[in-house]
Amino acid sequence: MDLLDTLTAKGLRGDVPTREEALAVLATTDDELLDVVAAAGKVRRRWFGRRVKLNYLVNLKSGLCPEDCNYCSQRLGSKAEILKYTWLKPDQAAEAARAGVAGGAKRVCLVASGRGPTDRDIDRVTDTMAAIQEADPEVEICVCLGLLSDNQAERLKAAGADAYNHNLNTSEKTYGDITTTHTYADRVDTVKKAHGAGLSACSGLIAGMGESDEDLVDVVFALRELGSDSVPVNFLIPFEGTPLAKEWNLTPQRCLRILAMVRFVNPDTEVRIAGGREVHLRSMQPLGLHLANSIFLGDYLTSEGQAGQTDLDMIKDAGFEVEGAGEATLPRHRADVAAASSAASACGTAASACGSGGGCGPCGGHAHAPEAAPAPEAADALTATATAIEASGDELRSDLVKVRLRGAGTELAPNA
């Protein structure tokens, strides 16, 4: 297939395909799928070998967000029965992070719901990072707090953060269809602020919200142009109680084509399978490892993932290995670019426009939490399952979306 030969050759050189080539990947048939995976897999192995980076989510503050992101279980007016709690204390967050690191995670992702942090929130996160780094000095820390105001990224960098996550989620053209309380430009501004402060930029997308192939290609090329070092690919988790609860329009094959397209456009960038991996790839998850070089271990912000040990077994069974703390994730030339960006920012070229708008954005949802955790029996009773219909077969999938009711914000052991 000429297309795949061309894309493989470009990817092995680190070159980016054309828009038309990226669209053509999304248009391939199921008969061609394994050839697509094999071609993108060569590119993945060229830059990342057989390593899989594990990341661990700690939901610092869950639910009751004033923003209205349609995909999010924590949005304004969400009826999803998720955990809801205010800021975890530093020692609580550090305990949750330790579980993830003990399970093999190299990066801990500290996430809080909301439009964006106050300066007091930055103080809280600074204390939390100190508590985590005291126990695990080598752990990478990525922070996700929504839209940043001036100098907040610099403060996070000075406090020891390695990266900042803020997803673009979808194309500029359709952004207003999924959120009205902030804009695509607000999100771009925050990614630039993070990058400008010398933080590694982690920014990705959500597929399955009803977008077109053109929208997906638009956002993936925008992320490449923004210089995102890590691209999380979320597959919409249609939570009951959110406006997108009925959007079951992904199949495992479609997810693999999207991951392959993202890999071809970002040959030498960390590509992470994020929220929705278990829900939409299901038994095809191992094939996703041939495309992405990074996943989350265990649970997501507001939804359950598969058991952490199952993640580890899957990686091993598929012939991959967990990336160690001492191993570089990015290829050397990309790491050099990141370092140069960091050095250039040391003179303090903070972005001009004042940060407004906000929101984090990966995965599931969170909540505003009761101080006390639900008892195990109550947790079972509460385990809400979202009933939905998969477009590919009108099949009820009430078994697929489970609200997270363990780990951070509860007294139950985390899944790691």
Q: Which of 124, 142, 144, 257 is catalytic?
A: 142
DSSP readout, 280-337?
A: IIGGGHHHHTTT-SEEE-S--SSB--S-HHHHHHHHHHTT-EEPPTTS-SS-HHHHHH
Q: Which of 75, 107, 263, 272 is catalytic?
A: 272
Nearer to ligand SF4, 72 or 291 (CB): 72
Q: Which of 44, 69, 254, 263 is catalytic?
A: 69
Nearer to ligand SF4, 84 or 290 (CB): 84
Nearer to ligand SF4, 39 or 301 (CB): 301
Q: Which of 44, 51, 72, 255 is catalytic?
A: 72
Q: How far is the CB of 95 from ligand SF4 (least distance, A)?
A: 23
Question: Is 72 a residue of the active site?
Answer: yes
Nearer to ligand SF4, 59 or 251 (CB): 59
Q: How far is the CB of 337 from ligand SF4 (least distance, A)?
A: 28
Which residue ranges make up the site for ligand SF4 (CB under 6 A)? Answer: 65, 67, 69, 72, 74-75, 113, 115, 146, 358-361
Q: How far is the CB of 243 from ligand SF4 (least distance, A)?
A: 11
Nearer to ligand SF4, 74 or 200 (CB): 74
312, burial (CB in 10 Å: exposed 0-12, middle 13-18, buried 19+): middle
Q: How far is the CB of 416 from ligand SF4 (least distance, A)?
A: 22
**In 1-11, which positions are buried (b, 16+ CB within 10 angstroms) versus exposed (e)?**
eebbebbbebb
Nearer to ligand SF4, 77 or 137 (CB): 77
Question: Is 202 a residue of the active site?
Answer: yes
CA separation for the pair 106, 101 (Å, rounded)? 6
Question: Is 109 a residue of the active site?
Answer: yes
DSSP readout, 320-336?
A: -EEPPTTS-SS-HHHHH
Tokens 């997501």 map to which residue? 300
Question: Is 255 a residue of the active site?
Answer: no
Q: How far is the CB of 186 from ligand SF4 (least distance, A)?
A: 10
Count Cβ atoms below 10 Å from residue 46 Cβ, excluding itself: 16
Q: Which residues pair with 176 in a beta bridge?
A: none
Report the relative pairing of strands 389-390 and 395-396 from DSSP bridges: antiparallel
Q: Which region holds residue 14: left if phi is over 0, alpha if psi is between -120 and 50, else beta?
A: left
Q: Which residue number is nearest to ligand SF4 in terms of Cβ?
A: 359
Q: Where do the H-state alpha helices sit in 63-183?
A: 90-102, 119-135, 152-158, 175-178
CA separation for the pair 202, 394 (Å, rounded)? 35
Q: How far is the CB of 70 from ligand SF4 (least distance, A)?
A: 9
User: Looking at the annotation, which residues are catalytic?
Assistant: 65, 69, 72, 109, 142, 202, 272
